[in-house]
Amino acid sequence: MSQAKMSKLSKKTLLSLLVLMGAGATGGAAHAAAGQPGADSLPRDRLNLQATASVEVTRDVLGVTFTSTKEGTDAAAVQTALKQALDAALAEARKLAKPGQVDVQTGNFSLYPRYAPKGGINGWQGTAELLVEGKDVAAIAQLTGRVNSMTIARVGYSLSKEQRQKVEGDVVKQAIANFKARAADYAQQFGYGGYSIGEVNVNSMDSTPMLMAAPPVRFKAMAASADESLPVEAGKATVSVTVGGTVVMTLR
């Protein structure tokens, strides 16, 4: 092979090698960019924050659960006794019923067999409930002294939807203001001049306890006097709003 041909072949081989090396470098860079993001693609200057505001509000809904338990050897007789106790309590409650002020509804009504130690049914037991709640606290408290066919199982206060919504707007504003104040303060401490708000979420809740158990025997004795009402105290509920999310700290 002549020297000119060898020289021409060497140039072609060298050019091919350079092309392959360039393609390999480009492919490697693309692979690195896809599998291992560079510093520029990572979130920077971001801060996760959470701020809360709350206010105490007087609970304005009183709830009372009346109950009656009967037992006997005849299922029909036990059921009849429960119905009579419930009907008598309903008659008293309906005298005071008023939508939103005194709401009345029946609760659990159950009848189940009672078994002997050696097996087999030796009797029946049943339970009936009456639920009364509303904003007319005085009327509901007096009702507890008039119902003598059932005992009181649970008593408790809660916060009405109207009362919660009444204060929730102001609490939301305060929580958002707290969030912005913390964002500005932290941005300054990290050496930034300002911030912009990213994704945020707002959550609200109120601390409303479940109905409390009440001693049935004590309230049954109290119910003997129609003029004696249940002593109650509303207490406070806390309405809280939490704002959480991210802010991007900026130089200006």
| Across 83-87, 160-164, 231-235, 244-248, least confident range | 231-235
| Across 4-8, 41-45, 174-178, least confident range | 4-8
Compute the distance between CA of residue 160 and CA of residue 80 in angstroms, rounded to an integer: 36
DSSP state of 209: P
Residue 180 and residue 200 in contact, taking contact as beta carbons nearer than 8 Å: no
Q: Per residue in 48-83, pLDDT tens?
A: 999 999 999 989 999 999 999 999 999 999 999 999
pLDDT of residue 27: 46
Q: Answer yes or no: is 220 within a domain.
A: yes
What beta strand segments (E) does 8-140 contain?
A: 46-58, 61-72, 103-115, 121-134
Q: Answer yes or no: is 192 within a domain.
A: no
Q: Per residue in 163-208, pLDDT tens?
A: 888 899 899 999 999 999 999 999 999 999 899 998 899 998 866 5
Q: Answer yes or no: is 202 within a domain.
A: no
| Across 92-96, 99-103, 105-109, 163-167, least confident range | 163-167
Nearest to 183 by CA among 228, 105, 136, 248: 248
Q: Answer yes or no: is 187 within a domain.
A: no
Q: Answer yes or no: is 33 within a domain.
A: no
Percent over 70 (pLDDT), the chain: 73
| Across 22-26, 54-58, 106-110, least confident range | 22-26
Q: Answer yes or no: is 18 within a domain.
A: no
Sheet bearing 236-250, strands edge to edge: 46-58, 236-250, 194-206
pLDDT of residue 154: 92
The residue behind tokens 């959550």 is 203
pLDDT of residue 80: 96
Query: What total of structural domains would you count in the chain?
Result: 1
Nearest to 229 by CA among 150, 98, 148, 138: 138
Residue ranges making up the domain that contains 80:
61-158+209-235
Nearest to 108 by CA among 66, 141, 73: 66
CATH code, domain carrying 88: 3.30.70
pLDDT of residue 1: 52
Compute the distance between CA of residue 136 and CA of residue 23 in angstroms, rounded to an integer: 83
Compute the distance between CA of residue 71 and CA of residue 153 in angstroms, rounded to an integer: 18
pLDDT band at 12 (very low <50, low <70, confident <90, very high): low
Q: Per residue in 204-229, pLDDT tens?
A: 886 654 444 444 433 443 444 445 66
Q: List, in order, residues 6 or more apart from 237 with CB less than 8 Å away.
A: 56, 57, 58, 59, 157, 158, 159, 206, 207, 208
Residue 107 and residue 140 in contact, taking contact as beta carbons nearer than 8 Å: no
Q: Answer yes or no: is 52 within a domain.
A: no
Angle, alpha carbons 175-177-180 (nearest 5°): 110
Compute the distance between CA of residue 140 and CA of residue 53 in angstroms, rounded to an integer: 33
> Average model confidence (pLDDT) for the chain?
80
According to DSSP, the residues that pair with 200 across neighbouring strands are 245
